[in-house]
Structure 1
Amino acid sequence: MAKLPRPPTIPQPARETLRHALLGLLRNESLSAHDLSAALRIREKDVYAHLEHLRRSLGTGGEHLEITPAQCRGCGFVFAKRERLTPPGKCPACRKEAISDPRFRIILR
């Protein structure tokens, strides 16, 4: 039995990359990693990896990744000196685990 020839495949139109979509969201407003993962439909863990890459790559242009630090909901302690993008597990002052997520935004320098 002879095989029928396959119809030619039509390539998918080029879509916006994940990081470009992330840039677009962060230029409009300040968002947490949870908000970004819901908007982009990716895991929150992956959002932090993309944000780290954006932080390094934006340093060469005129833009900057602004980070509003995490804050303890119990005592109000602000994690201002934290370099990591992920939220901390516990507050060093009151030892509570109720901590708001850091928020991210892209601004012009």
Structure 2
Amino acid sequence: MKNWIFLAIAIVGEVVATSALKSSEGFTRIWPSLVVIVGYGVAFYLLSLALRSIPVSIAYAVWAGLGIVLVAIIGWLLHGERLDSWAFLGIGLIVSGVAVLNLLSKTASH
């Protein structure tokens, strides 16, 4: 269970870092740039700890899937980015794909 917590915090770190990239304006603003650097550092460190017991295929699917969904939602809420019905369909398919991999697939035992 501890490794899933590491993965969850890693995802939050990655989402915070990715969201701060826009505010860093190409690394020309110091504080958002520091958030990016620290966020990715925390994210990759905790991902490496999570991979001690979570198969990489499962961890990366959860990491990428949730990261994409959360960053899209943050872009929509905080940066005024528009999401149309196709975007929401795509987000739903990503969530569905991660769920299928985790709940039904036998290719990666966990």
Whether TM-score is above 0.5 comes out as no
Q: TM-score, normalised by structure 2?
A: 0.28
Q: TM-score, normalised by structure 1?
A: 0.28
Higher strand share: 1
Larger gyration radius, structure 1 or structure 2: 1
